Homo-oligomer: A and B are copies of this chain.
């Protein structure tokens, strides 16, 4: 872990915000590459954040969702003009150079390389259904390990920008999986995995 101690960390309360139709943010922005040069890292205490990067055509790509205890180095975000935003109401520990401990940074980098490699495989050769299956399994693991049911904190638009699909395609594949009996959707945010094995086969 990059961030070991919370001592000196600046806790920040954030209200959640709703996504704007033009895919731009107005509220809930935790970090923008242009400001807070003293920030070094950030760790989620509660809630869910997303790491966003603007693309040249005005769209955005979400490179990561951050759940409680997940940390991220700011340099990586800053380098690509990114921002970190609240998906839900969140509490965050902001860490400056003197409060963040660099110890273990190398292992963190290795872990990130591994995660990005996996993401490269996913974006490269998986189709929409496979991407969504992999996504649901990932979220299941991160949100409620071992449970069949979990609640997605992010919108279909967020999922689309994470998987590099259109929101409509994401939606269609949710519906498809549901009518295939792989998952159940009591409401749009709640996912119950009915048959994990075939889902793993599709998304692996």
Contact = CB atoms under 8 A, between A and B. Distances in A.
Copies of this protein in the assembly total 2
Contact of A110 (B53, B109, B119, B124): B109
A110 B75 CA distance: 10
Interface string A118-142: 0111011100000000000000000
Contacts of A106: 105-106, 109
Interface string A46-69: 000000010111010101000000
Contacts of A56: 204
Given A55-B125, A57-B125, A63 B120 contact: yes
Interface string A90-127: 00000000000000011001101110110111011100
Nearest to A75: B110
B114 A113 contact: no
A125 B204 contact: no
B125 A61 contact: yes
A79 interface: yes
A76 interface: yes
**Chain A contact residues: over half helix, strand or loop, or mixed?**
helix
Interface residues of A, number: 28
Among A75, A106, A114, A124, the most chain B Cβ lie within 10 Å of the Cβ of: A124
A195 interface: no
A125 B59 contact: yes
A105 B124 CA distance: 27
A84 to B, nearest CB: 15
B109 A61 contact: no
Contacts of A109: 106, 109-110, 113
A125 B166 CA distance: 10
A1 interface: no
Given A105-B106, A109-B109, A113-B76, A121 B53 contact: yes
